[in-house]
Amino acid sequence: MTHPTVLCVLLNFRTPEMTLRAAEAALADLHPLGGELIIVDNASGDGSFEMISNEVAARGWGEGGLVRVVPSAVNGGFGAGNNIGLSMVRSDGQAPDYYYVLNSDAFPDAGCIAALVNQLEADPKAGFACSHIRGEDDVVHTTAFRFPSIAGEFVDAARLGVIEKLLPKASVPMAQPHETCRVDWSAGASMMIRKSMLDEIGTFDETFFLYFEETDLCLRAGRAGWSCWYVPDSRVVHIGSVSTGMKTKRRMPSYWYDSRRHYFIKNHGRVYALAALLAHLAGGLLHRLRVGLAGRRPQDPKWFLTDLLSHAVTPYRTSPEDLS
């Protein structure tokens, strides 16, 4: 009996120590499966590639092709960097059955990867299996989602209980499931992807510099008849936003707005994208009216609605400098 093969793709951008920690956790869980690991350095330009390569050699991870470190010539973003790994094969020259995309600040628990493989093995039309994510403080992260929609834009921007009750299936974030279930999409921090599905629908759309790329990929898969599953028995610790610096930024970066706009226009057309924008603006204004009357500050980042509107009418402004 042959066992399914797994190739883990780990993308680094200026976090070499963290990436090596994630690689160590992944290798421990890949070992029982005979899996291999590709570390892609996304044109960090800070010596990350050399440091990781030297450390992989020093630890003996490179023997037999267990771990390979490859450079990207440019920083094209999350999707572009991962696509380098998703184009690679195992050290024996054979394509894997599954690719396991893991963030550089995510650390799988024992049995995490096997649980994802088992889910895909059990359902030949399952294209993705994604993990339960928690922080280092054991706080569970919301990682089970519905696809964005006009109604969802209004509900999530308004943050008003009565509206959520009127439209209970509109909000993009779902209540976190306690058992394995089908979802529209899940976070790409720990995602098992079926290779044969990628052969059919393609890999990440590299127009997305960061954010919405896994949403788009799952939507394309769903339209082609593939499913995405949330597997709570597959558990990962995720620090989050280490490479992007989003935890310390008080204003959303340009690439978030660019990605949001591209997602809606690409998948639903310009009229729908405009309606989604207006719905979000209406919900956001309602939220600001409510919190203003209560003497509180809006929950959105600084200048959020202004930036959202500005990016809707101007060319894309994404650049790698957003991550510097």
The encoded tokens of residue 187 equal 């976070």
Q: Helix %, strand %, coil % for the chain, to 5? A: 40, 20, 40
Q: Which of 27, 94, 83 is nearest to 55 (CA)?
A: 27
**166-217 pLDDT tens trace:** 999 999 999 999 999 999 999 999 999 999 999 999 999 999 999 999 999 9
Third-level CATH fold of 6-140+176-238: Spore Coat Polysaccharide Biosynthesis Protein SpsA; Chain A (3.90.550)
Q: How many CB atoms lie within 10 A of CB 216?
A: 21
**245-291 pLDDT tens trace:** 444 458 999 999 999 999 999 999 999 999 999 999 999 999 999 99
Say which residues have a Cβ less than 8 Å from residue 300's Cβ, sequence separation at least 6: 284, 287
| pLDDT for the residue numbered 241 | 59
Q: Which of 81, 33, 36 is nearest to 62 (CA)?
A: 36
Three-state SS at 149: coil
The domain spans of the chain are: 6-140+176-238, 254-323
Asked if residues 85 and 42 have their Cβ atoms less than 8 Å apart, the reply is no
| pLDDT for the residue numbered 2 | 77
Distance separating alpha carbons of residues 56 and 50, to the nearest angstrom: 10
Query: CA dist 205 to 87, 92, 197, 202, 243, Å?
Result: 14, 28, 15, 8, 20
Cα 214 to the center of its chain, rounded Å: 5
> Which of 16-20, 66-70, 83-87, 318-322 is least confident?
318-322
Q: Which of 133, 150, 147, 267 is nearest to 188 (CA)?
A: 133
Stretch (H or E) spanning 145 = strand 144-145
Cα 134 to the center of its chain, rounded Å: 15
Query: What is the per-residue DSSP string for 56-101?
Result: HHHTTTTGGGSEEEEE-SS---HHHHHHHHHT---TTSPPPSEEEE
Q: Is the pTM of this model over 0.85?
A: yes
Helix segments in 159-293, DSSP class H: 161-166, 195-201, 213-223, 254-268, 270-293
Cα torsion angle, 208, 209, 212, 218, sign: positive
